[in-house]
Amino acid sequence: MESSMDLWKPVGTVKIRVYKYNPKKDFAPGWKEYEIEVSRGTTILDALLRIKEEIDPSLAFRYSCGQALCGSCAMMVNGRQMLICRTRVLEVVKDGKVELRPLDNFPIIRDLACDFKSFFDKHRAVKPWIIRRDVEELENPTGDYKQTIEEYARYYQFTDCLLCGACYSACPTVATDHEYLGPQALAQAYRYIIDTRDEGLEERIAVVDSDHGCWRCHFATSCSDVCPKYVDPAQGIQLLKKLIMRSKLGFKPHKPAEVLPSKIGEVKKR
Amino acid sequence: MSELEYYAQNRRGVSGWFKVRGYVIERKLYALHRITGILIVLFILPHFYSTGWHPGLWWDALLGVIVTFHVANGLRLTLLELFGIGIGKPLLVKKPFQRPVSIEGKQRYLLAISIIIFIALALIWSYYAILVKPLMGG
Amino acid sequence: MRESTKMLLHYITALIIIVTGLIHLLANNDPNIGKLITANTYLYLGNMAIFLAALLYHTFNGIRVILIELVPDKCWTKLIGWAILLIGIATYIVGFQVLLMALGLI
């Protein structure tokens, strides 16, 4: 009878081809190949950690949770953006080789680690927080903001974003346009605009309806194709375009959510 | 020094527009839409300059394929981007290995219809270019 | 002009191109329908004037979008926008003259 420990029995060796580049020291990037013994359950992250421990301690890469929750370990595996902590080596091996590169279109810090500064700046530029105008309620809250399950369903999908950078890396517009906001920021802009608790439509439209905003998206859909949390940023951007067109005709996306007075502090009479 | 900065920047540049291997078919259609758009602009320049010039029989049919692809794909993009037809609704529940609704939902029907429109228009154009126009005097 | 207005015009001109372009193609390639269309020269001139305007707007806006993606710096974006507008208007004037000549009205 097969036991679950069969998942961890070594089944062979795989060559992991890693992009090695230190911008401060090397003139040009190079590749290094490591041979690693794998089992059915070995993830690429497991293999890289084994390489770092036993073969080459100078290898630089990012990882954190190991369970596709933090978005730190996104990189190019055989030419496609993936989270390596949840991709098994035997799933992606081609002719006994797995090729690892840092994410496309991100500046490289070293080897497989990239610089995310401009990516996070673009996320901040769309104001990813709830904007309310009722100062009185914000200063002295009397309760929660009402929201039905249907209104929640309109934006819940986009809240799963890990900011891993896979969608931004896969986008063809990002390849040439370094000012383009990117699918992640635009999908988050839509998530906040369509949230009924939010009243920041004008501020966000000014950012998103610009030369390098949502209209530089041409529906190549690679962002949704590679997203590890199935956030579907392409859908968010097309819905955002539709929303902008409707707002030009005067239609608002939703009425601002009302306050549901809270009963905390009210003493129940027995 | 600038060599170092070039590799460290890690931008794909224009080759990123045409990196279609390993992604969905819509990525390939985007690249083709761009290429056909540029080719149409290149055709229009001599068409304006020497009034009404157009290449001969089979080249006219090729031009027809290029233009009708751009038109059919453009119609698909207009419906998706302006009106949100086929783009689907955001999900509340995601299944394991969920494929994106905006790509593999109703959008694929729209894709099939636009390919049928493309083939039909390209055939009609080629028929006119190869059979009818020479009889009219080229 | 907001980017969404420019893109809305891009889509509207695309639809206009399909309709007026079809009339232009039929006029030049189909013997029967062609005679019907070119019977009234002024109507055909009107059709071609609208076709030319829509085509030039759609083409030059497309060129502007591709150029902005290639050279995203802010000062270049403004320059490209204005240059494309001027070239577009100039091309329309020249093209309209050629049109009048081709239809034998000048």
Q: Give the pLDDT score at A25.
A: 87
Angle between helices B107-127 and B57-82 (to 10 degrees): 160
Is residue C72 less than 8 Å (CB to CB) from chain A?
yes
Length of chain A in terms of residues written: 270
Q: What is the pLDDT of residue B1?
A: 38
Neighboring chain B residues of A68 at a CB cutoff of 8 Å? none
Task: Please report the pLDDT score of residue A264 as a whole number.
Answer: 67
DSSP letter assigned to residue A216? G
Q: Which of A26-30, A137-141, A153-157, A209-213 has the lowest mean pLDDT?
A: A137-141
| Nearest CA distance, B93 vs chain A (angstrom) | 8
Q: Would you say residue B76 has pLDDT above 50?
A: yes
Asked whether the beta carbons of residue B41 and residue C11 sit closer than 8 angstroms, the reply is: no
C1 interfaces chain A, CB cutoff of 8 Å: no
Chain A residue with Cα closest to C10? A215
Q: What is the mean pLDDT of residues C23-46?
A: 89
CATH number of C3-103: 1.20.1300
Whether the pLDDT of residue A179 is over 70: the answer is yes
Residues of chain A contacting C5 with CB distance shorter than 8 Å: 248
Which chains touch B (3+ CB pairs under 8 A)?
A, C
User: ipTM, 2 decimals?
Assistant: 0.92
B44 shares contact with chain C (CB less than 8 Å):
yes
Q: Over 80: is that where the pLDDT of A216 sits? A: yes
Q: Which residue has better confidence, B105 or A2?
A: B105
The answer to whether A22 faces chain B, any CB pair under 8 Å, is no
Q: Evaluate if residue C17 carries a pLDDT over 50.
A: yes
Axis crossing angle, helix C41-70 with helix B25-49, rounded to the nearest 10 = 130
Domains and CATH numbers, chain B: 11-136 (1.20.1300)
Q: Which are the contacts of A162, defined by CB distance < 8 A and separation ≥ 6?
A: A68, A69, A70, A71, A228, A229
**Could you tell me the domains of chain A?**
4-114 (3.10.20.30), 116-249 (1.10.1060.10)
Mean of pLDDT values over B79-103: 92
Residues 6+ apart with CB under 8 A from A251: none
Residue B21 identity: R
Provide the percentage of residues in chain A whose pLDDT is more than 90: 81
Rounded mean pLDDT, A21-32: 89
By DSSP bridging, strand A10-20 and strand A97-101 are: parallel
Joined together, the tokens standing for residue A199 give 């009243």
- For C1-15, what is each residue's pLDDT tens digit? 889 999 999 999 999
pLDDT digits (tens, 9 = 90+) for B52-64: 788 888 899 999 9
Residue B2: per-residue pLDDT: 47
Domain spans of chain C, in order of start: 3-103
Q: With an 8 Å Cβ cutoff, is A117 touching chain C?
A: no
Predicted TM-score (pTM) of the model is 0.93
Confidence of residue B70 (pLDDT cuts 50, 70, 90): very high
